[in-house]
């Protein structure tokens, strides 16, 4: 029996579009726009000014508090200023604009040789590493967990449709991923690492088993291909059958979950001394002429990424991230940040947008909810402003995976209702 | 880049993809499944049955259109739910009812039971079951008059009768349904019914309920396309079997007659599974189906009627909100409140 969680859905995978494209390094254009918010937590504070000369890896934004992350230049050149631009989330935030001199001179940190636990954590903090799966929570905060940790869990499930970067990474650079995993395990002081990979990536599983051969404590597990297998709580349950308490964190049951790309970023930071200024990103969707997996520098506008790969047909939606949890963009001006796991240009056919109709009470949303909620109740109650009653259906526990809205035959925006409920409950302190 | 920045893009909350399933498609699947039993009914009882069902559908669709016109709302008939209601009601009528019965029934189902409470998904009781009960109370005789199936082999009913038999009522022989036998045999414990006839539909009854094979085929179709949850009909049927054992003398003899006779199969597949009037919780669904089975058997065994499925459904429909409230699920990882508060910041919000 394959390891998995309860409920969930099987969306069309669409991974075939980009799965066979080897990782390709994309150079930056004449200007890069580095967002000063690329993580969860306090915005980084700009520490360069117009006219400053920077290299790829020069710090341009300093972490403003403990839960924050340093931000780096991704090219060498001259700072031309700090401007407010729209980011992928649709907010106007400060961006450091750098004129690229095309030399790509690097400023690296000294590589760590046989580092201690503290040195690795300090390096993650210094190199601005955040959860590269898209959540962008600063990694050093997770590594300095106050509660005792039994094991490290590495999320290689990549359950979102279309996205194939973790797959390509495991296929092409498994030994680097494994060395990142070893460093993370050391930082946490754990002997056991559970790596969960969905069954639709058999060759990646083989490569990872091969790369971790002879290293004690790294266990590669095949998981059932089902969405949202990569949700922290679902992944922990699939691998250990332990349940993260409602409203709690994985560390409450003794686990820390980190992503394959994060492990790779840790490898880059510790072994190569390269801070986090570039990432792997899948660019896909039926409108993209040549779907690809790019190694792209942060600060490159999405429009340049799209220009490189070409558009072959009309698209109606542009999404930063996966189709289930990503953010739809109003245009392609935002630039690549640490959390940009994918850029999708979707056609009418793919999104099948139709007007929401009345709820028919079929309970499909409840039957697929991996958190065992009743989204139709929250939806109905929140639209009647019955916030207190809506709270009875635990919208705060919603992980916003989108299973409910995916299966809804009335096409109701159920995730949006859950978000609205969360917002109102927080704001009105109900 | 110029071209990109001028392009108008759709912006919405995630997810950005969806399954292809829509309300209309669901209704279409149900209509297809219902036609299995309709075809069986027409073969068994003649063309007048088709007319009865058609009248029901027409009055349901007209009723919904009329209601929307009066309320100045966009017409909702294209979601096909009125057609489904009309078909279910029509298939629940005896094959010889006068033409005004299905017309009135259709309007009652749609106007009173469905639209007045807000339309699709909002009605608290099954429109077809309610309308059937309404018709039973209004035209008791006509609604209880069941005819024998057309006997093709004997030649007693000709092709002419098949098409125009309804003009000449003498061509039909009224007869008691097997459930009457089940009722009278309850005391002795010896039931004299032909199970094969009940299985094939060679018995008196309502248009849609008699042919067990057609209903089972429809159920397989609906379950295969994931339109209905197999747990509801199966729990209901298991409940019928269990309560037959408990409440009848020599209960073994009563399991199959009770399952195959009357509207049990039809109700289990098409009416208990009605989305709006069945619970939305997993546990609630089981309670609902078991309760409906218990009520059906109690009505059949101790009540004044031979049938009981429609009344059972109606009564259980009224309990659905309470059942759902009592069975409200806790989220994944839920722990009892004092512990949950320690869990993290979120729990305190």
Longest dimension (CA), chain A: 62
Alpha carbons within 13 A on the beta-carbon side of B149: 24
> How far, in Å, CA of A30 to CA of A148, rounded?
48
Q: Which of residues 270-329 of B touch A (CB under 8 A)?
A: 275-276, 279-282, 328-329
pTM across the whole model: 0.91
Q: Which domain holds residue A177?
A: 110-272
Do A239 and A378 have their domain in common? no
Q: What is the DSSP string of A360-397?
A: ----HHHHH-TT---HHHHHHHHHTT-HHHHHTT-GGG
Residue A347 lies inside a defined structural domain of this protein: no
Q: What is the DSSP string of B166-228?
A: TTSGGG--B---HHHHHHHHTTT------HHHHHHT-S-S-TTTS-HHHHHHHHHHHHHTTSS
Is the pLDDT at B345 greater than 50? The verdict is no
Supply the CATH number for residue A197's domain.
3.40.50.11540
pLDDT at A185: 96
Residue A396 lies inside a defined structural domain of this protein: yes
At A221 the three-state DSSP class reads strand
> How far, in Å, CA of A136 to CA of A188, rounded?
19
> How far, in Å, CA of A400 to CA of A391, rounded?
16
Q: What is the DSSP string of A22-70?
A: PPEEE---SEEEEES--SSSSPPEE---TT-EE-BT-EEEE--SSS---
Angle in degrees, CA B153, B159, B165, rounded to 5:
105
Do A236 and A382 have their domain in common? no
Helix (H) or strand (E) holding A223: strand A218-223
* B330-340 average pLDDT score: 78
pLDDT at B184: 84
Do A249 and A389 have their domain in common? no
Domain count, chain A: 2
Residue A256 lies inside a defined structural domain of this protein: yes
pLDDT at B341: 46
Residue A419 has its nearest CB partner, among B4, B13, B329, at: B13
> How far, in Å, CA of B52 to CA of B62, rounded?
15
- A239 phi and psi angles, rounded to 5 deg: -85, -30
Do A131 and A249 have their domain in common? yes
Task: Tell me whether residues B26 and A252 touch, CB distance under 8 A.
Answer: no
Calculate Rg over the CA atoms of chain B.
23
pLDDT at B145: 86
* B33-43 average pLDDT score: 95
Do A125 and A267 have their domain in common? yes
Contacting residues for A383 by C-beta, under 8 A, at least 6 apart: A417
Residue A14 lies inside a defined structural domain of this protein: no
Please give the residue of chain B at the shortest CA–CA distance from A411: B22
**Of the residues A272, A291, A318, which one is the last residue of a structural domain?**
A272
Do A121 and A263 have their domain in common? yes
Do A266 and A374 have their domain in common? no
A384 at B interface, C-beta within 8 A: no
> How far, in Å, CA of B116 to CA of B43, rounded?
36
Residue A320 lies inside a defined structural domain of this protein: no
Do A150 and A256 have their domain in common? yes
**Of the residues A272, A305, A329, which one is the last residue of a structural domain?**
A272
- pLDDT tens track for B124-155: 899 999 999 999 999 988 898 888 887 777 66
> How far, in Å, CA of A15 to CA of A288, rounded?
14
pLDDT at B167: 52
Do A216 and A115 have their domain in common? yes
Residue A357 lies inside a defined structural domain of this protein: no
**In this structure, are strands A292-297 and A77-86 parallel, antiparallel, or unpaired?**
unpaired
**Of the residues A248, A272, A296, which one is the last residue of a structural domain?**
A272
- pLDDT tens track for B109-128: 999 999 999 899 999 899 99
A248 at B interface, C-beta within 8 A: yes
Residue A401 lies inside a defined structural domain of this protein: yes
pLDDT at B307: 84
pLDDT at A352: 84
Sequence length of chain B is 349
Is the pLDDT at B168 greater than 70? The verdict is no
Is the pLDDT at B343 greater than 50? The verdict is no
Is the pLDDT at B255 greater than 60? The verdict is yes
pLDDT at A316: 94
Do A132 and A259 have their domain in common? yes
Which residue would you say has higher pLDDT here, B176 or A351?
Answer: A351
The answer to whether the CB of B83 falls within 8 A of the CB of B109 is no
* A54-83 average pLDDT score: 95
Q: Which domains does chain B have, with CATH numbers?
A: 23-326 (1.10.3430)
- pLDDT tens track for A97-154: 999 999 999 999 999 999 999 999 999 999 999 999 888 999 999 999 889 999 999 9
Q: What is the DSSP string of A299-352?
A: T-BHHHHHHHH-B-S--SEEEES-TTT-EEESSS-SB--TT--EEEEE-HHHH-
Q: Which of residues 128-157 of A touch B (CB under 8 A)?
A: none
Q: Which of B2, B18, B126 best probes binding to A when mutated, by most A CB atoms within 10 angstroms?
A: B18
B25 at A interface, C-beta within 8 A: yes
Do A260 and A119 have their domain in common? yes
User: Chain B: nearest CA to A408, how far in angstroms?
Assistant: 8
Report ipTM (2 d.p.).
0.90
Residue A373 lies inside a defined structural domain of this protein: yes
* B228-249 average pLDDT score: 95
Do A117 and A254 have their domain in common? yes
pLDDT at B347: 41
Please give the residue of chain A at the shortest CA–CA distance from B81: A360
> How far, in Å, CA of A321 to CA of A336, rounded?
11
């Amino acid at each position: 029996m394959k390891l998995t969680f309860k409920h969930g859905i099987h969306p069309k995978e669409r991974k075939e579009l980009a799965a066979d494209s080897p990782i390709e390094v994309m150079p930056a254009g004449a200007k890069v726009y580095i967002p000063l918010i690329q993580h969860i937590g306090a915005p980084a504070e700009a520490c360069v000014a117009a006219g400053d000369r920077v290299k790829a890896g020069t710090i341009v934004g300093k972490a403003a508090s403990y839960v924050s992350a340093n931000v780096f230049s991704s090219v060498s050149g001259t700072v031309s200023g700090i401007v407010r631009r729209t980011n992928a989330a649709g907010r106007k935030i400060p961006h450091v604009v750098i004129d690229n001199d095309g030399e790509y001179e690097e400023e690296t940190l000294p590589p760590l040789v046989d580092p201690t636990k503290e040195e690795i954590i300090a390096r993650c903090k210094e190199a601005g590493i955040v959860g590269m799966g898209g959540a962008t929570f600063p990694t050093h905060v997770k590594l300095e967990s106050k509660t005792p940790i039994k094991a490290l869990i590495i999320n290689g499930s990549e359950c979102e449709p279309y996205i194939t970067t973790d797959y390509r990474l495991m296929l092409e650079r498994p030994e680097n991923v494994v060395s990142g995993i070893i460093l993370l395990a050391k930082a946490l002081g754990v002997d056991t690492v559970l790596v969960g990979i969905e069954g639709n990536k058999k060759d990646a599983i083989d490569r990872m088993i091969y790369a971790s051969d002879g290293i004690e404590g790294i266990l590669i597990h095949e998981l059932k291909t089902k969405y949202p297998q990569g949700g922290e709580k679902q992944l922990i349950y699939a691998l250990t059958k332990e349940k993260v308490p409602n409203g709690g964190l994985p560390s409450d049951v003794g686990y820390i979950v980190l992503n394959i790309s994060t492990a790779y970023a840790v490898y880059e930071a510790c072994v190569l001394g390269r801070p986090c200024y570039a990432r792997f990103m899948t660019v896909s969707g039926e409108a993209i002429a040549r779907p690809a997996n790019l190694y792209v520098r942060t600060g490159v506008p999405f429009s340049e990424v799209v220009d490189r790969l070409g558009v072959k047909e009309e698209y109606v939606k542009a999404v930063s991230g996966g189709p289930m949890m990503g953010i739809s963009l109003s245009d392609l001006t935002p630039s690549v940040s640490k959390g940009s796991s994918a850029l999708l240009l979707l056609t009418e056919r793919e999104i099948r947008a139709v007007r929401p109709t009345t709820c028919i009470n079929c309970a499909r949303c409840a039957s697929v909810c991996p958190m065992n909620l009743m989204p139709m109740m929250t939806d109905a109650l929140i639209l009647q402003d019955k916030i207190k009653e809506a709270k009875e259906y635990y919208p705060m526990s919603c992980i916003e995976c989108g299973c409910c809205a995916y299966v809804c035959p009335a096409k109701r925006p159920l995730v949006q209702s859950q978000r609205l409920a969360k917002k109102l409950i927080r704001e009105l302190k109900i | 880049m110029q071209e990109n920045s001028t392009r108008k893009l759709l912006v919405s909350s995630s997810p950005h993809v969806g399954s292809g399933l829509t309300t209309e498609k669901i209704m279409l699947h149900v209509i297809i499944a219902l036609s299995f039993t309709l075809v069986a009914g027409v073969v068994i009882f003649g063309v007048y049955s088709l007319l009865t069902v058609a009248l029901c559908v027409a009055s349901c669709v007209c009723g919904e259109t009329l209601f929307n016109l009066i309320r100045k709302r966009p017409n909702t008939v294209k979601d096909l739910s009125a057609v489904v209601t009309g078909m279910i009601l029509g298939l629940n009528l005896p094959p010889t009812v006068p033409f005004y019965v299905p017309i009135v029934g259709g309007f009652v189902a749609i106007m009173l039971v469905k639209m007045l409470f807000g339309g699709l998904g909002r009605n608290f009781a099954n429109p077809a079951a309610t309308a059937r009960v309404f018709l039973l109370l209004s035209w008791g005789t006509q609604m209880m008059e069941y005819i024998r199936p057309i006997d093709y082999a004997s030649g007693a009913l000709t092709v002419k009768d098949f098409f125009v038999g309804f003009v000449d009522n003498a061509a039909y022989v009224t007869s008691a349904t097997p459930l009457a036998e089940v009722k009278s045999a309850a005391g002795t414990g010896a039931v004299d019914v032909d199970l094969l006839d009940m299985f094939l539909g060679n018995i008196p009854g309502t248009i849609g309920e008699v042919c067990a094979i057609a209903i089972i085929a429809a159920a397989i179709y609906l379950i295969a396309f994931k339109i209905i949850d197999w747990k509801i009909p199966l729990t209901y049927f298991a409940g019928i079997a269990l309560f037959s054992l408990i409440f009848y003398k020599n209960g073994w003899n009563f399991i199959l007659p009770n399952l195959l006779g009357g509207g049990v199969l039809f109700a289990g597949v098409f009416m208990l599974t009605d989305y709006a009037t069945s619970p939305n919780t997993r546990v609630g669904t089981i309670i609902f189906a078991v309760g409906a089975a218990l009520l059906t058997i109690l009505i059949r065994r101790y009540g004044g009627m031979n049938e009981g499925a429609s009344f059972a459904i109606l009564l259980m429909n009224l309990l659905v909100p309470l059942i759902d409230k009592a069975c409200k699920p806790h989220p994944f990882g839920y722990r009892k409140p004092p512990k949950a508060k320690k869990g993290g910041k979120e729990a305190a919000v």
